[in-house]
Copies of this chain bind each other. A is one copy, B any other.
Amino acid sequence: MAVTRCEIRRGAYFDSIVLMQLQRSLASLAGVVDAGVVMGTPANLDLLAASGLTPDDLGQIGPDDLVIVVRAETEAAARDALGQVNPLLTRRRATTDETYRPRSLATAVKSLPDAQWVLISVPGRYAADVARQALALGRHVFLYSDNVALEDEVALKQAARTAGRLVMGPDCGTAIVNGVGLGFANRVRRGAIGLVGASGTGLQAVTAHIHTLGSGVSHALGTGGRDLKSEVGAVTAHQALNLLARDPDTQVIVLVSKPPAPDVASRLLQAAQAAGKPVVVHFLGYPPPARRLGNLHFALNLSDAAALAVERLMTDDSRLIFPTDNHQSSVINHYVRGLFSGGTLAYEALLGLQTTLYPLYSNAPIRPDQRLPDVWHSQAHTILDLGEDEFTVGRLHPMLDNDLRLRRLRQEAADPEVGLILLDVVLGEGAHPDPAADLAPAIAKAKAARDLEVVAIVVGTDADPQDVGRQVEALTQAGVTVFRTTTDAVDYISQRLAAPAIESYFSPVPLAVLHHPLAAVNVGLESFYNSLVAQGAAALHVEWRPPAGGNEKLAALLKRLKTKDR
C-alpha cells in the first residue's frame, strides 16, 4: 500500500515555474506514485486532497508556506524523494544562464532606458506595488498577474490615465504591440486590423482567426477582464480605442469584452461611434441589436468577429457618416421618447437604442435599472409600451384607439428636453382602419409649434386594408421620417444622436507606444522574458524576490516602519 509523506517550509517563496518543475522531478523518481508541490492556499490544499495527496501533518498551513507532498510505494521511497528536494532546487538554480539580471525594477529601467513597457507576472499580492513603481518610472504596464484587488486596479488606472500611460490588466493574458506578443500571444501576420480586448483568450482567438482568414493585425491591446466593470469604467479600453482611432496603420477596430457593465458599455460604444473607422463589437453574452448600426458592426461570436473585421477591411466603407440634414443640430443632446403600441417593437427599439443611449427608461424595461419610476412621466430617454396591461384596463388597445397615444404625444412634445419622438404604426386586419388620419394632424401640429423630429416604424403589407402607401404618404406629409423595420429606425436614430467628441478627459497616450520598436523589462515569469527575446525584442529580466523573502508578517512590519519614517 502506498504511503504519503509531506514537508512544509514556512514562509518560503518560490516562483510558480520552480514549483512545477520540482513537482515533476519528484513525481518521476523511482518508487514515487504522485507528488504535489504548492503554496499552502486553501484552494491548493483542496486540490491536493482531491488527488489523494492530503498532507499527513495537518498543522497550521498558511498561504506563505510551501507544501511538498509525496505518495510513494514504500516508506523508504517517500523519504528518499523528500531528501531530493534540496538537491533538485539547487540543480535548477545552476542551470540558469549567466545573462545580466538586475535585482530591482529601477536598476533595470536605467540599464534599458528604451523600455517603454514593464511586464509584471509576480504573485497577485505583490503585483500592484510593482505596477506602481513602473508607472512612477514613466512606463506602460502589462500586468499579467491575477488575484489583484479591484481597488488597486482602479487606483493604478486612474494614475495611468492622468499620466498618459497604459495599464493593461491585471489578469491581462495577451497583447500584440508593434508586432511583438506580450504574455500569451499567437504569431499573426501584420495587417490593418487593430483590437482592444477585455478578454485574453477572446483576443487570442480573434487574432488567430484573422490570420487564418489571410488577413493581419496592427496591434492587439489587452485591458484585463475587469476593465469594463463599473468600478473601473473602461479606462484602458477608452485609451486603447483612442490610440487605435489615431493610429494610421489601423483601418478597422475590433472591440471584444467579457460581459460589460451596461453604462460602461454604452459610453464606450459612444466613443466607438466617433472613432471614424468601422468598429466590430463583440461583448460576450450581450444580444447584438443588429448586424450593423452606423460604423458599429455587431458580431455573434469570436470567429464571427474576426470574419466581420476582415470583411470590413475589404469593403469600401463610404457610408460611415449618415447624411446630415437641417435637423441635425437640434437632435443632438435632446432626448428620445418612444410611444409604442406593439410590445415587441418597443422591446426591439429599447434593445437597439440602449447600445448607445444612457440613461434609458421604460415601463417594459430589459434591465431593472431601466424601470421608469412613474409611467405617466417620461425621463431622459424613454421608450413606452402603451399596450402594457397598466394602460389597457377598461380601454381599447392602442392599436385600435389612438386617444392615449395622442395625449402622450402632446405631453412629450411640450417637454423642451425632447428632441425626437418615435412611434410605431401597425396595420392589418383588426387594427385601426386609418391610424395616420389620427396621428398625422397631431404630429404636424406638434412640429409646427417647435423644432421636433418624429420617426415612425410602419408595419404592414401592400395587401393590408389600410393601404400602406397612403399611410406612409400621410405621415411623410406631416414631416415624419418613416421606416419599415425597427432596426432601420434605430440605425437612423443612432446616427442622428451620434458623434460626440472622443472621450477627452484623459491625457492621450503618445502614439509612439505603438510605433517605436518594442523594448520591455520583465518582472516575474521567466518564460515571458524568453518569449520577448525569441521575438527579437530588447528585454531585461529582473531577478525579483518578494519583500522580506515572502514572509508576509515581516513584510508588513517593514512596510509599517517605512510609512513611519515619512
Contacts and interface: CB of A to CB of B under 8 A. Distances in A.
Copies of this chain, complex-wide, total 2
A284 B487 CA distance: 13
Given A395-B38, A487-B304, A285 B426 contact: no
Interface residues of A, number: 112
A129 interface: no
Given A146-B389, A208-B461, 8 more contacts: A20-B403, A23-B403, A187-B428, A202-B345, A204-B342, A284-B351, A286-B287, A287-B288
Interface string A281-319: 000111111110000001011111000000000000000
A17 interface: yes
A385 to B, nearest CB: 10
B205 A487 contact: no
A328 interface: no
A515 B50 CA distance: 62
A389 B147 contact: yes
Interface in A338-382: 341-345, 347-348, 351-352, 366, 376
Interface in A263-292: 284-291
A462 B40 CA distance: 40
A110 to B, nearest CB: 26
Given A186-B427, A430-B528, A401 B347 contact: no
A201 B344 contact: yes
Interface in A1-40: 16-17, 19-20, 23, 38-40
9 contacts: A43-B390, A47-B376, A47-B404, A146-B389, A174-B428, A184-B426, A208-B459, A285-B351, A400-B525
Contacts of A352: 301
A208 B342 contact: no
A188 interface: yes
A200 interface: yes
B202 A344 contact: yes
A98 interface: no
Given A200-B342, A342-B204, A403-B20, A393 B186 contact: no
A560 to B, nearest CB: 25
Contact of A186 (B147, B202, B208, B464): B464
A495 interface: no
A122 B527 CA distance: 74
Contacts of A300: 287-291, 298, 300
A535 interface: yes
A424 interface: yes
A419 interface: no
A127 to B, nearest CB: 13
Interface in A21-80: 23, 38-41, 43-44, 46-47, 50-51, 63
B181 A429 contact: yes
A204 B301 contact: no
Contact of A301 (B256, B289, B428): B289
Given A187-B429, A286-B287, A343 B461 contact: no
A460 interface: yes
A485 B299 CA distance: 14
A344 B258 contact: yes
Contacts of A291: 300, 304
A447 interface: no
A510 interface: no
Nearest to A385: B201
A534 interface: yes
Given A38-B395, A429-B531, A50 B302 contact: no
A194 interface: no
Given A429-B181, A460-B186, A407 B200 contact: no
A487 B488 CA distance: 28
Contacts of A187: 428-429, 461, 463-465
Pairs of residues from A and B, 9 with the lowest C-beta to C-beta distance, nearest first: A201-B342, A39-B394, A202-B344, A186-B428, A187-B463, A181-B429, A303-B485, A199-B344, A184-B430
Interface in A432-482: 459-465
Nearest to A431: B184
A394 B146 contact: no
A348 B199 CA distance: 12
A64 to B, nearest CB: 10
Contacts of A182: 430
A463 B188 contact: yes
A185 interface: yes
A225 interface: yes
Contacts of A301: 289-290, 348, 351-352, 485-487
Interface in A397-420: 397, 399-401, 403-404, 407, 411
Contacts of A395: 16, 19-20, 38-39, 44
A285 B355 CA distance: 12
Contacts of A181: 428-430
A209 interface: yes
A507 interface: no
B201 A461 contact: no
A304 to B, nearest CB: 7
Most buried by B among A208, A291, A390: A208
